[in-house]
Amino acid sequence: KAGVTQTPRYLIKTRGQQVTLSCSPISGHRSVSWYQQTPGQGLQFLFEYFSETQRNKGNFPGRFSGRQFSNSRSEMNVSTLELGDSALYLCASSPTGTGISPLHFGNGTRLTVT
């Protein structure tokens, strides 16, 4: 089976712009989660989707949003980018959700905001 695929791998944006990141989960996985990883804060939960519904959201401002499509693919969007949004954004999938089976992560999108 192919793993979790995230595109693009690298992005450079300017403050104030917006960005959309894409994630294709492992085939058959219906739960998709997003995490932000920075050297200072470590791995922080953004949100989780299952069957196109957001089931949980982390403590991030409303500039961070996401969605899931009927084929389980997911996108996250960050609007009005700030320098502090520079991070590795990780997508993870599992068959039904976090507490039932482990999440399987993609290799992330490295976002740099200048």
Site residues for another protein per CB under 8 A? 4, 31, 33, 35, 37, 39-40, 42-45, 48, 50, 55-56, 58, 88, 90, 92, 97-100, 102-108, 110
Alpha carbon of residue 61 to chain centroid: 15
Distance of CA 92 to the CA centre of its chain: 7
Report the alpha-carbon distance of residue 89 to residue 107 in Å, rounded: 9
Least Å distance, CB 112 to another protein, is: 11
Q: Shortest distance, CB of residue 39 to another protein, whole angstroms?
A: 5
Specify the residue, 16 or 64, whose C-beta has the smaller distance to another protein.
Answer: 64
Distance, in Å, from the CA atom of 92 to the CA atom of 31, rounded to the nearest integer, reads 8
Q: Rounded to an integer, what distance in angstroms lies between the CA atom of residue 91 and that of residue 93?
A: 7
In the bound state with another protein, the residue whose beta carbon lies nearer, of 48 and 85, is 48
- Nearest distance from C-beta of residue 67 to another protein, angstroms: 16
